[in-house]
Amino acid sequence: MNICGSCGRYLLCLDFVVYISSPSIIILFQSISAIPTKLYSRHLKLRGSVVSVQSNGVIHITHRPFFNILWTSTDSGSSALPVVLPVTHSNQSISWLQKYLRPGASIQFILLGLDANCSTLVALVFRSQSILFSDVVSALLRDGLCSLAYPSAELVPSARLNGYRIKQTKSIRKRRGIWKNELSETGVLARIKRLFRS
């Protein structure tokens, strides 16, 4: 007999109890409204797969709970979650996403909150590379393919956000990607100052 406790934190299997650190491990999220608000502040990594990457940068993701039990079906018809990264995209970053986040690709993602219209999830996405998962936002900023978007970037944990800002600053100074057309050092420095004032 399998019973899920009312608070969603304990899973009873026969005669032993397994402590579940978060309901997200066993609960399938099929819509934005199904996600508890408190989950955003916990910055837990969830597992999923890519459904599609739209031309506006929205990534449709199917959530895959770490433990698939009877009441959390993960059929292919399950609703996908609309996710955006906390960045301002360029054509180059969209092309990068469509190249490396192909339909069916395994990913991990951290939910940060909702966008200004409360219609899309803001999240960090980590793509599978061999046995590891790499940070998509970090890769895009490092190559100068996008810039941090505010206020959604403020949802990123402070230590990670500082790392993102450093990568963005380096890509601006080295004029990588979207920054390569900067014509003067004055323009570059002014842009850096604006980013850190945001």
Q: Where are the domains of the chain?
A: 24-197
Please compute the mean of the pLDDT values over residues 62-88 and round it to a whole number: 74
Contact 111, 123 (CB under 8 A): yes
151 or 65, which is more confident? 151
pLDDT tens for 123-174 read: 999 998 878 899 999 999 999 999 999 999 999 999 999 999 999 999 999 9
- Write down the pLDDT at residue 116: 82
pLDDT (0 to 100) of residue 186 = 53
pTM: 0.78
Separation between Cα atoms, residue 150 and residue 152, nearest integer Å:
5
Q: Which of 10-14, 59-63, 164-168 has the lowest mean pLDDT?
A: 10-14
CATH of domain 24-197: 2.40.50.90
Q: What is the model's pLDDT at position 26?
A: 65
For residue 141, the model assigns a pLDDT of 98
Please provide the average confidence, as pLDDT, over all residues in the chain. 81
Q: Is the pLDDT of residue 5 over 50?
A: no
Cα dihedral 144→84→155→42 (10° resolution) = -120
74 pLDDT higher than 60: no
- What value does the mean pLDDT take over residues 42-64? 94
What radius of gyration, in Å, describes the C-alpha atoms of the chain? 19
pLDDT grade for 11, boundaries at 50, 70 and 90? very low
